[in-house]
Amino acid sequence: MLDLQTLIDMRYQVVAVILFCIGFATLFLHPNLIKKVIGLNLMDSAVFLMLAAVGYIDGGKAPIIVDGITDASYYINPVPGGLVLTGIVVAVSTTALFLALIQRLYYMYHTLNLDEILLLAKRSEHY
Amino acid sequence: MKNKSLLHRFVDWVNGDVADDRPGNIRTVGSLPEAKPPKEKPEHTDPLRHLNRQIAAYRVSAVLVCVSLMLALTYTVLCLPTYNDPSAPTNNEVSQRYVEQGMEETGAVNTVAGMILDYRAFDTFGESTVLFTATAAVLFITLSKHTKEWTERGPFADSSKDPILQVVGKILLPMIFVYGIYVVLNGHLSPGGGFSGGAVLGGGLILASSMFGQKKMVRVLSANVTTGLSVACLLAYAAMKGYSFFTGANHVGWEIPKGTPGDILSSGFILPLNICVGIIVACTMFSFYSLFSQVEEE
């Protein structure tokens, strides 16, 4: 299964998986909230790379019919383009929402470190 | 080295050698090296010790989860149809239909524009609504009593006096706007469309706002104006698509003329829909910027 040729053939997908997991690990491990959001965006980008790689056909042109050829094998798959567009919009919206919430947290605790925020929240609960 | 000293400091602090109210003892929590919880069990029950041990366990398990996820996903990816394969199941009759008959059926030369604004226009309507909802949510969250404090030491407070920004901005701004409007208007003929052109326009608006200062910009484009424009465009989008869904589904036959593919005035509703989406995206981008830098006055 894990021969090198398959790995090289599927390089875009494998890179997408690695990028996704880097983003996931950032989301888990980094205490800074802004960097957590960056990790989330990294995961988004990995998904977009995956979709673009799935839709690519060797030698295909962008699906814009300028020279009158309406043959599906002449162009790349247009469906992932639309899906990536949806994904980008949702990523932008969630990022903005996260940043707004982080701004509120910063006003309240004057730090971006999630561990410190949890600690301060816990302390204010205790005393 | 740094971690070690931090660990030592932390161990000392857990043992009670350091006064509890020493400044900075909170910081040890975030920078504790993983997988090395302190071995001694201090007698006094401190919520911090519990939290620290939990954080260490959490980090180890997070690394494990990520690595196993990566292995599983890589294995799955290697079982997928090969990259570049024209006979892969993703290249099925759906994309074939879009490419081969999209131009006749929608009138758009750009197949992706025809797809997202005609075949799947309802999906794009949902996307625009997501953008609008995000703006509304950010508006709710950021408009608080703290707004004024942030304004005075905001990062863009006096960038309007920067001469480089003024000169370069005056050269760049017309080009950016013309390019953005071009991309929006040619969405059905060339790469681009409402989303990308709207993002370019939003970037131009952000540049203008940092050039002229937000106080001047608010007079032209306040939060009320951007919200109103977005709502108007969403309603126009809903009306247009509702019209074509209603007449199309009931076979009424009052179709919008498609025009000759390749003309700027062709492909039915796609051009006005692109304009609507472009305005929504530009307003959203600009209001994100102005809400996060907060010189909104009222």
Among B138, B217, B96, B79, CA closest to A77: B96
Q: Do B77 and A89 make contact, defined as CB atoms within 8 angstroms?
A: no
A 10 A CB-CB count for B112 gives 25
Print burial letters for B136-152: b (CB count within 10 Å at least 16), e (below 16): eebbebbeeeebeebee
- What is the tens place of the pLDDT at every residue in B191-221? 888 889 999 999 999 888 888 877 777 778 8
The pLDDT of residue A75 = 82
Q: How many CB atoms lie within 10 A of CB B131?
A: 26
pLDDT of residue B289: 86
From chain A, the residues in CB contact with B88 under 8 A are: 54
- Residue listed under structure tokens 């977009």: A48
Q: Which residues of chain A make contact with B73, given a CB cutoff of 8 A? A: 17, 20-21
pLDDT at position B147 over 80:
no
If you measure CA to CA, which chain B residue comes closest to A93?
A: B134
Over the stretch B282-296, which tens digit does the pLDDT of each residue have? Answer: 999 998 888 887 644
B233-264 pLDDT, tens digit per residue, is 999 999 988 888 888 777 777 777 777 777 77
Confidence of residue B14 (pLDDT cuts 50, 70, 90): low
User: Which residues in chain B have Cβ-Cβ distances shorter than 8 Å to A72?
Assistant: 91, 95-96, 99-100
Looking at chain B from residue 84 to 123, which residues have their Cβ under 8 Å from any Cβ of chain A?
A: 84-86, 88, 90-91, 94-96, 98-103, 109-112, 115-116, 120, 123
Which residues in chain B have their CB less than 8 angstroms from residue A16's CB? 77
Residue B153 pLDDT exceeds 70: no
Q: Does B143 touch chain A (CB under 8 A)?
A: no
pLDDT band at A25 (very low <50, low <70, confident <90, very high): very high
Q: Number of residue pairs across A and B with CB atoms under 8 Å?
A: 183
Q: Report CA-CA distances (Å) from B156 to B101, B189, B287, B289.
A: 50, 38, 15, 11
Put simply, the answer to whether A93 touches B78 (Cβ < 8 Å) is no
CB distance B75–A1 less than 8 Å? yes
Nearest residue to B272 via CA among B108, B159, B55, B41: B108
Whether B27 and chain A come into contact, CB under 8 Å, resolves to yes
Average pLDDT for A8-32: 89
- Please check whether residue B107 is in contact with residue B258, taking contact to mean a CB–CB distance below 8 angstroms: yes
Interface contact flag, B70 A7, Cβ < 8 Å: no
Q: Does B292 touch chain A (CB under 8 A)?
A: yes
Residue B202 and residue B191: Cα distance in Å, rounded?
A: 18
Contact between chains at B130 and A101 (C-beta distance less than 8 A): no
Measured CA to CA, the distance from residue B119 to residue B116 in angstroms comes to 6
Percentage, residues of chain B above pLDDT 90: 17
Q: Using an 8 Å CB-CB cutoff, list chain B residues near A71.
A: 99-100
Q: What is the pTM of this model?
A: 0.77
- Identify from B64, B99, B139, B292 which residue to disrupt to test chain A contact, counting A C-beta atoms within 10 A and taking the largest count: B99
In this complex, do A99 and B116 lie within 8 Å of one another by their Cβ atoms? Answer: no
Is B191 an interface residue toward A (CB < 8 Å)?
yes
Q: Rounded to whole angstroms, how far apart are CA atoms A63 and B153?
A: 49
Interface touch A9/B69, C-beta < 8 Å: no
Domains along the sequence of chain A with CATH: 4-59+70-126 (1.10.287.3510)
Asked if the C-beta of B245 comes within 8 angstroms of chain A's C-beta atoms, the answer is no
Contact list in A for residue B51 (CB cut-off 8 A) is 118-119, 122
Number of neighbours of residue A72 by Cβ within 10 angstroms: 21
Taking an 8 Å cut-off on Cβ atoms, the answer to whether B138 and A100 are in contact is yes
User: Are the Cβ atoms of B73 and A9 closer than 8 angstroms?
Assistant: no
B146 interface with A at CB cutoff 8 Å: yes
What phi-psi label fits residue B254: left (phi over 0), alpha (psi between -120 and 50 degrees) or beta? beta
Taking CB atoms and an 8 Å limit, are B78 and A25 in contact across chains?
no
Give CA B61 to chain center in angstroms. 30
DSSP-derived secondary structure for B189-242: TSS--HHHHHHHHHHHHHHHHHHH-HHHHHHHS-HHHHHHHHHHHHHHHHHHHH
> Is it the case that residue A116 has pLDDT exceeding 90?
no
Of B62, B94, B189, the CB nearest to A28: B62
The kind and range of the H/E element at B166 are: helix B163-185
Average of per-residue pLDDT across B263-287: 86
* Chain segment B15-71, per-residue pLDDT in tens: 655 544 444 444 444 444 444 445 554 455 566 777 778 878 888 998 999 999 999
Q: What is the pLDDT of residue B175?
A: 94
